[in-house]
Homo-oligomer: A and B are copies of this chain.
Amino acid sequence: MSDQIRVFSVDDHPLLREGIAALVNNQPDMVLVAEASNGAEAIQLFKQHLPDVTLMDLRLPDMSGIDIVIALRSEFPEARIIMLTTFEGDVEIHRALQAGARGYLLKNMPPSELLDVIRQVHAGKKRIPPEIASQLAEHMSDQNLTEREVEVLRQVADGNRNRDIAKKLFISEETVKVHIKHIMEKLGASDRTQAVSIGIRRGIIQL
Contact = CB atoms under 8 A, between A and B. Distances in A.
Nearest to A18: B19
A205 to B, nearest CB: 9
A47 interface: no
Interface stretch (A135-143, A151-159, A167-175): A151-159
Interface string A171-207: 0000000000000000001111111110011000001
A12 interface: yes
Given A107-B15, A108-B14, A197 B196 contact: yes
Nearest to A157: B197
Residue among A15, A16, A156, A196 having the largest count of chain B Cβ atoms under 10 Å: A15
Interface residues of A, number: 37
A177 to B, nearest CB: 15
Given A13-B107, A13-B108, A193 B19 contact: no
Give the oligomeric copy count. 2
A72 interface: no
Dominant secondary structure of chain A at its interface with chain B? helix
Contact of A111 (B15, B110, B158, B159): B15
A114 B15 CA distance: 9
Q: Lowest 6 A-B CB distances belong to which pairs?
A: A159-B194, A19-B19, A18-B19, A15-B19, A22-B22, A159-B190
27 contacts: A13-B16, A13-B108, A14-B108, A15-B23, A15-B111, A16-B19, A16-B107, A17-B19, A18-B19, A18-B23, A18-B111, A19-B19, A19-B20, A19-B22, A86-B86, A87-B207, A157-B193, A158-B197, A159-B189, A159-B191, A159-B193, A159-B194, A161-B191, A193-B193, A196-B196, A197-B200, A201-B207
Interface of A: 12-23, 86-87, 107-111, 114, 156-159, 161, 189-197, 200-201, 207
